[in-house]
Amino acid sequence: MSNLNIQIHETAFVTSTFRSLNEDLSKDVYAKLWDNSRTDVLVEKYLDQVCSEEVSAHCLRNRFFLEEIEWLQPEVLINFGSGFSMYPFLLSDDIIHIEIDKEEVVSYKEEKIKEFQGEGKLPERNIHFIGVDFSQDYVDALLEKLTLLKGNKSSFVLIEGVLFFLSRKDTEKLFEFFSRLQEKGDYLGSASFQNKLKASKAFGRLLDFCNKEMVKTEASDWQTVEDIFYKENANYDLINHQDYFSLSKKTQ
């Protein structure tokens, strides 16, 4: 019996640790603030059992979205399943940030951020934290809150590293929700595992690791997303599609 039993919200510590392991690549100079000894053990085990490339893959993913958001300059960034991502502090201070995740994640994050700011480790930013479980009934209440915060402002919705843990039904519900929330000309950034990766050895090891070490989600079969899901979305045009290999080439 394993003594790990990683909870879903703990994956947020793992991804921030990945980003802190190569700051030059991720450009996330604040990820290290979330470091803790339990996560270090999980990360070591993960890199050993799954794939050591995960550090670069996560760093590149963060950097890609950071640079896209910097370039697009939305007035509001709404991060779904935000975990311990640090975009608010890496982007200019005029952006309004809305961070949505499970209640235990956002309340912990909010408290720690206040603490870090009090110690002068983080600058002040305009951030709203909202606790939501995407597998529950959230649509009307969340839409009302977000509409109030966003008003007519331009927005970038981000969902990265989350869909793996959700069912297809909850994913479709979220994408429908995004289209109700956003206007023409707004942007949506989504990062997920491609369906075709299922054939690779590394992905097989990832599934073994998750099945063995992680507390199961409702979805439990660890979602991959076929390219056509994005290409054929009736409400959004696919304008930029990157993967680890294409992003690696960009930074060489």
Q: Which positions lie near ligand SAM, rule CB under 6 A?
A: 8-9, 11-12, 15-16, 81-83, 85, 101-102, 105, 132-135, 160-162, 165
Q: How far is the CB of 153 from ligand SAM (least distance, A)?
A: 22
Q: How far is the CB of 225 from ligand SAM (least distance, A)?
A: 15
In the bound state, the residue with its beta carbon closest to ligand SAM is 83
Q: How far is the CB of 143 from ligand SAM (least distance, A)?
A: 16
E strands in 102-208? 126-131, 155-160, 187-191
Nearer to ligand SAM, 153 or 216 (CB): 216
Q: How far is the CB of 141 from ligand SAM (least distance, A)?
A: 14
Nearer to ligand SAM, 78 or 162 (CB): 162
CA distance 135 to 141: 14
Nearer to ligand SAM, 12 or 96 (CB): 12
| DSSP string computed for 74-106 | -SEEEEET-TT--HHHHS-TTSEEEEEE-HHHH
Q: How far is the CB of 95 from ligand SAM (least distance, A)?
A: 17
Nearer to ligand SAM, 83 or 88 (CB): 83
CA distance 134 to 105: 13
- What's the sign of the alpha-carbon dihedral 15, 20, 24, 29? positive
Q: How far is the CB of 7 from ligand SAM (least distance, A)?
A: 8
Strand partners, 99: 79, 129
Q: How far is the CB of 5 from ligand SAM (least distance, A)?
A: 15
38, two tokens: 């339990």
* Ramachandran angles phi, psi of 15, nearest 5°: -65, -35
Nearer to ligand SAM, 36 or 232 (CB): 36
- State the residue for tokens 């000894």: 37
Which distant-in-sequence residues (6+ apart) come within 8 Å of 180 by Cβ? 143
Strands of the 187-191 sheet, one edge to the other: 126-131, 96-101, 76-80, 155-160, 187-191
Nearer to ligand SAM, 52 or 151 (CB): 52
CA distance 232 to 236: 8
Nearer to ligand SAM, 101 or 186 (CB): 101
CB neighbours of residue 16 within 10 Å? 26
